[in-house]
Structure 1
Amino acid sequence: MIKKISLMAFFVFTMVLMTNIANAHVTLNPDKSEPGAYEKHDVRVPVEKDTNTTKVELVVPDGLQLVAVAPVDGFKHKFTKDSKGNITKVTWTATGEGIGPNEFIDFPIQVANSEEEGQYKWKAYQTYEDGETVKWTGGKDAEKPAPVTTVSANTAQEQGESKDEEQQNTTPLWIVAIIAIILSLIAIFKKTKK
């Protein structure tokens, strides 16, 4: 019985851990928006290595307009612009140590959407202190997917449905995790009492 409970607790812990690992890539939140909207997005950059991230570059996709960025403590930003003055890329460079292992930072940006619906792929480049640059430029199923903004007139409805699904999907996992932990503690307490 104790073995079964321990195995169940281990399984639940592994599932929670794997879910977190699967989400450990550069993302844009929210990733859905309405045509013509001005939207604040957070570019979330996690560190997946044992060395600090010291630079992040984000290339603006055609059809979207980067309007502004919010200052981020510990980083300075620089814009690259085209001949019309439109921002085509923003580069954040650490002024200190950068983002440490097992940490993340959100870089807030303000974006003006196209009137055209569609998926707009941002290319992101994450440079580590050791000189390695990770290119977040792949497709949705790639090992290093690019952040994507989906511009759709149905965004408000889709986001509501997505939140409902997310709550339905995550609640049972946490309930099972709590139950597994409680059962493990009971089993350990009973074993030590004998």
Structure 2
Amino acid sequence: MQKTSPILNLPNILTMIRVLAIPVLVLVFYLPFKWSDMCAAALFLAAGVTDWLDGYLARRLNQTSPLGAFLDPVADKLIVGVALVMLVQIHATAWLAVPAMVIVSREIAVSALREWMAELGQRGRVAVSQLGKIKTVTQMTAITLLLAQKPGFDAFGDIVMTPWLWLSYGLLYLATALTLWSMGSYLRAAAPELLKSGD
């Protein structure tokens, strides 16, 4: 049997599909139809499932590759960042803008930390932890729920908080707390290198 190409293997194809789904997600989210919210949420949820699936298949089929190792986290951060930008624009409230800012800032900081540690040959110290995986699941669930229903507004322009929104915001704040906790864990792991004297 011919060996699968390290580029055109199934895990990498799934990751590329996740990246290509981003403009589709944006388009669907802004369509003026009642079903667009649920469709956007379904697309985002499918992206989250493929995030787990491509990693599982890469390990199961022994099809890991440098392209996959690079593209997989990039795809995750792109789709989460784009979804949060859309949600901040629709909700237009500090209650959503602040956790979105924390989540995006954390992703940038941790990515930079991992790149720097990799240059030192210490990438393993800041590898994805179990806590990071729990954070990702909570974050994906919160964003999916927020995408599934655009908020309503009262006569004063304030968001009407329904039980659905309370649950969505609650999960987003839990994801934000886990985001900060996991970032703290990575910083502690990298502290010996970060605090070395420059002499």
Instruction: Name the TM-score class by shorter chain.
Output: under 0.3
TM-score when normalising by structure 2: 0.25
* Rg larger for: 1
Larger strand percent? 1
Larger helix percent? 2
* Greater relative contact order (Cα < 8 A, sep 6+): 1
TM-score when normalising by structure 1: 0.25
